Every structure is written in structure tokens, then in C-alpha cells.
Amino acid sequence: MKTFWKTFWAAFLGCILALIVNVFLVFFLLVGLASAFSSSDSDLPMVSPNTILTVDLTSTLGERTQEGMNMDMGALSGLISMPKGGLGIYDATRALKKAANDKNIKMVLIKGGIESTTSIPLLEELRQALEEFHDSGKPIISYSMNYSQGDYYVASVADRVYMHKDGLIQFTGIGADMLFFKDLGDMLGVEAQLIRHGKFKAAAEQYIKNDISPENRQQNMEMLSSMWNTMAAAICESREISPEVFNDAVDNLKLVDPASLVEAGLIDKAVTSKEITDELCQLTGVENESALKYISLAKYAKTAPLSYKGKKKVAVVYANGEITTEGEGLTSSKYVPIIKKIRKDKTIDAVVLRVDSPGGDAQAAELIREELELLAKEKPIVVSFGEYAASGGYWISAGGSHIFSDNATLTGSIGVFSLAFNYGKGLKKHLKINPVSLGTHKHSTMGTGVKPLDDAEIAYMQKFVEQVYTQFVGIVADGRKMSVAQVDSIGQGRIWTGEQGVNVGIVDEIGTLNDAIECAAFLAYSKDYEGETLDVGAEAPAPAEGEEAAEEEALPKNYAKINNSITAYRAMKTDGYKVVEYPKVKSQYESIMEMFGGGSSDSEAILKKILTEFKDAKGVKTYARMPYTFMFNY
């Protein structure tokens, strides 16, 4: 009987404790939610006169702005991971454009860190926006305890670059490590069979080789060099130093501490925290640190309107992630309805397709491209590349009226591959399992994973790969007004940077997302004047007799068409269009409800991805995808 009561009271106390914990959990959650949603969208941050705008390069900068939860969960913070926010590149650049003309913003302070968390293409767009801010005549100062190479690349745009006297930097160039798994596969008894078109199509090469192929080494070295040259050229121009001297210093590890950076001309002075504070006080004309006023770029961005005044409306479609038919990322099931909705929306005049994708499922890419082709017949589509626009990402982009890319974007990879794994030997070797395959025909168990593909099956898959590659090349040739032979010569699965892409014809122009939006707005207006030939710099046509002139703010200053490419969009008034964005970004409430409701935890999401990879490994699938997602060291 004593055992019963001990068990009973233990269970009873456990239930009471669980109830108390749940009550506190709900209480903290409700308090946090109330705090998070208490302010309305109309409650914009107030900017006082003489304010310093801070650009913190250690903060998250991504393709789109995502609101995070600023809740203090106290002791529960270790148990609950709240959705994290981040600033989108378009919002960041719009904010800097506004700040240049905001009389309350005195200057910009750039703050860096020891590790870059933002891709080089996004850093490139941010740096250009800072250069344009600098043209306003307002000062830019950069200060950090430590700098990563990527952060310094942005910081070098400043009038004066400072570093803490005890700070560090590792200037070593851009590197990427590649792992090859053939020896591991041999040890485990797992064999990979790769069917591909394109001598540069290195996707899955790491499963069939134990070292990099010469073609893969060549394309990767050229790609890394192009990315580095983008950064180095900008740094050297801003700091007025020789590229040869700079690269020699990097090659010989001469740049590590503030003294070496001062000697090389990369920073102006090594300082203490008090010295940089005194510098800011002097620049803003205040007596002491307590009088300094700051506002972060993310907070200030909330004061910059997404849409300007004007008659035309531009839709920006963010095509981000792996291309698949279902699930997360750039899925045909999600994006086809979005594109169709935009096509039917009579209020939308032009579209920007912002692509940040390494590719994926060729069939899903084609479904998206088909819908974009229908849209292009009714509205102009301008394409803007982010970090990746390769393989399937380029597949959906090739039909755009004008393609913009950052210098360091990875694009091209016009090639196709199929990959089959078989683990029959491993089952027998390690688990003593002997698989037996049964089927009504010779090849009924082709691609099930327990036996390798035979010669006939490989030839069968090769035909399919060739068919998809021919389709891919044809799409690019039609979209880029090139011959099939020209596309094939720059295809073969080769990866190019955006800078290289301009030279080989798969990119029209180096430019930012904002450039693409302005170009799309220009195209929207130019449709009103189709058939008229106008020179660059010409004034907009006068209204016909009896017609009223349109509002000045709704018209671009200039119109031009030269060789079917747009060259005058930069001269357009920035208040001449409105912007809408797709897909809809999840609200804070939706993110939290997903987390506590049907959404998956981080571990569940990782497990789901792993299981999906194993599921997809069964059978033979054809991909229009980059070789791998690069993890760059910069």
C-alpha cells in the first residue's frame, strides 16, 4: 500500500509541476505576443535631427525582410527558439537612398565583425547603395574591433576606416573546400552512377571520383578569381592602392593586425573605443557621448515607403531556393499560381523576377518557365540575380526582357545530370543481407538501389539527359537570341560569375535589384509609346493635340531603346511607380503559430530533409542543378 501512495503522490506532484510550467509558458508567450503586436504599422520610428545611421554588417541581411520576435523569454529562452528577423536587400538600399536626402540623418557609421554572414552579391549591392549615399556629401565612417574580408569590402567605401588597436583581420583571399566521397562509398559498398551532359557538369562528381577533375578545377578557380577580383578592385579603388601590391600582401599573409593595415593603407588609424566616440562627437557637433543619437538601418528602413507615387505598378517575385514540385523553397506548386495571379491582375504593369536559386528538378523548372512565358506575352519581365541563378535557376530566367546580375553571382551551369545510387554490396558486406530483385521485365527494378544500372539502362537514361539538355539549350537560345551552337559552347554545365556572364552573353548588365525594378518601371511606361523612336536623353513625347499632359511625377524623364536593350532606365524618376512583392512574407503571428502548431522544430526540419534526400535517392532523377551549394571562406 505504501508503494501505491508513493507512486500516486509522485504522479500527482508531477502533474501539478507540469501544469505550473505550462501556465508560465503560456503567460510569457502571451506577454511576448502582446508586446510584439502592440504597435501598428503606422507607428514608424522617429528620427531626431543629427542622427547617426548605423549599418551593422554582423546583422542578418538577406533577400527579403523578415520580422523577428523581440521577446525576452527569460528562463524559457533556452527552451523556445523564437523566429529570427532580418533585413532584405531592397529595403536596405531604399533606406540608404532615403537617408541621403533626409536632413535628420547626419552620417553613416559602418560596423563590421570577424565573420561574414552575408553573401558577396548582397554585400556588393549594399556597397553600391553606400557609394550612392556617399555622393550626397554626407560622411561615412567605419569602425570595428575586427573585420572579416567581406565586411571590410563594404567598409572600405567609407571616408575614414578605423579599427580597434587590438583588433584582428585575416586577409587570405576567397577559398572553398570540396569533399570527395568515392573512397568512403567503396568502403561502405555504396556505388554512385552519374549520367550527364556537359564536360563541366560537376554535379555529383564528388560521389564518383576521389579528386577533382581538371575541368571542374578550371571552372572553380576562374569563378573564385572573378569573385575576388570584384572585391579587390573595389577595395583598391576606394583606398587608392595598387592591386598588385594589395594581392602581394594577401598572398604573403602580411595583413593581420592594425599596424599592418595602416602601413598598407587599408585603414586610416588604429583607435580605442573612446577615440572613435570622440570622432563621432566631432563629426556630429555634440559635446559628449551621451548626446550622440543612433538609428539602425533595419529600424530606419521602416520609414522608407515600399511604394512611390505613380500610375505604374511593378510586381517583384522572389524566386528563392531549390526548385522542386512540392515542399519548401522554389516549388512549382507554389509559384505557378502566383505567376498566374500576376498575369491576370490588370493593375500590375511589369514584373521583376528576383532569382536566388541553384536549380533543382528540371520538370518543376519547366512548369514555372511555361507560366512565365505566358506572363511575358502580357507584361514585361525583368530578371535580377541574387547569390545564385544557375542551372534550373537560369532555366526560368532566360526568357526575361533584360537580365541584371551582381558581379559575384553564380550563374549559367547550363547542363543536366542524373544520379543513381546502389547499396546492394553494402547490404551484403556489412549487414549480411542478400537482396533479390524480381520483376516482370528485364529492367523492372531499374533504379531501386540494390543493384547497379546495366549498360542498357545507362544508355536509356543518357537519352533522357540528352533530351533535357537539348530542351535547356533551346530555351536559352530563344530567350537570349543566340544560336544553339553559341549556347552549347558556353553551356556544358559550366558555372560563370555574373561578371563573366556579361562577357559570354547570358547576362545583359551588372546591376542591383533596385536597378531591375527601375528598368521594369521604365518598360511599363515605354509600352505607352511603342512604335516611337527616341534617342537617349530625349524628353518624353508631348501629348497629342487635345490630350492632357500626364502628371509629371508619374512619367520617366527619358525614354530610349537601343538594339532592343534598355539603357535609359537609370534616368527615370524614382517616384514614378509602385511596388508589390510576392510571395507574401509570413507575419510574426503566422511564424509563431507555425512553430507552436503545425510547423516543425529545427531538429524535425533537419530530419525531414535527410529523409527526403534518402527518398529521392531511390530511382533515377534528372536535375538541372548546380554541382553543390558553395560554402565560401571570405
In this prediction, residue 153 carries a pLDDT of 96
Residue 311 has pLDDT above 90, yes or no: no
In this prediction, residue 146 carries a pLDDT of 93
What are the helix (H) ranges across 179-272?
A: 182-188, 205-208, 214-239, 243-251, 258-264
Same CATH fold assignment for domains 51-69+82-172+253-303 and 312-415+454-538+552-585: yes
Instruction: Report strand pairing: 416-422 vs 410-412.
Output: unpaired
Q: Which of 344, 442, 609, 618 is catalytic?
A: 442
Cα 474 to Cα 312: distance, rounded to the nearest angstrom? 33
In this prediction, residue 492 carries a pLDDT of 84
Residue 619 has pLDDT above 60, yes or no: no
In this prediction, residue 476 carries a pLDDT of 96
Q: What is the mean pLDDT of residues 394-423?
A: 91
In this prediction, residue 174 carries a pLDDT of 92
Cα 398 to Cα 477: distance, rounded to the nearest angstrom? 8
Catalytic residue at 391?
yes
Cα 187 to Cα 195: distance, rounded to the nearest angstrom? 22
**Locus of grid cell 543481407:** 433
In this prediction, residue 206 carries a pLDDT of 82
Q: Are 231 and 149 in contact (CB under 8 A)?
A: yes
In this prediction, residue 284 carries a pLDDT of 93
Cα 623 to Cα 360: distance, rounded to the nearest angstrom? 5
In this prediction, residue 7 carries a pLDDT of 56
Q: Which of 391, 413, 418, 526 is catalytic?
A: 391
Catalytic residue at 81?
no
Helix axes 2-37, 588-596, angle to 10 degrees: 170
Beta bridge partner(s), residue 102: none
Tell which CATH architecture fits domain 51-69+82-172+253-303. Answer: Alpha-Beta Complex (3.90)
- Nearest Cα neighbor of 387 from 369, 405, 401 is 405
Question: Which DSSP helix (H) or strand (E) runs through 611?
Answer: helix 602-617
Cα 419 to Cα 461: distance, rounded to the nearest angstrom? 10
Residue 421 has pLDDT above 70, yes or no: yes
Residue 581 has pLDDT above 70, yes or no: yes
Question: Which DSSP helix (H) or strand (E) runs through 601?
Answer: none
In this prediction, residue 628 carries a pLDDT of 54
Beta bridge partner(s), residue 359: 625
Q: Please report, for residues 110, 117, 284, 511, the alpha-carbon distance to residue 151 in angstroms, rounded to integers and kept in the order given.
A: 9, 9, 24, 20
User: 189: number of CA atoms within 13 Å, CB side?
Assistant: 15
**DSSP type of residue 558:** B
> Would you tell me which CATH number, out of the four given (3.40.50.300, 3.90.1150.10, 3.40.920.10, 3.90.226.10), belongs to the domain 312-415+454-538+552-585?
3.90.226.10
- Angle at 241 (CA atoms; ends 239, 244), nearest 5 degrees: 140
Which residue did the predictor score with more confidence, 424 or 70? 424
Q: What is the mean pLDDT of residues 395-421?
A: 91
In this prediction, residue 549 carries a pLDDT of 43
Q: Are 384 and 404 in contact (CB under 8 A)?
A: yes
How buried is 27 (Cβ within 10 angstroms: 0-12 exposed, 13-18 middle, 19+ buried)? Answer: exposed
Domain boundaries, the chain: 51-69+82-172+253-303, 312-415+454-538+552-585, 592-622
Percent of the chain with pLDDT over 90: 50
Cα 625 to Cα 361: distance, rounded to the nearest angstrom? 7
Confidence of residue 12 (pLDDT cuts 50, 70, 90): low
Q: Give residue-wise pLDDT tens across range 538-578.
A: 444 454 555 444 433 333 333 344 333 445 555 554 457 89
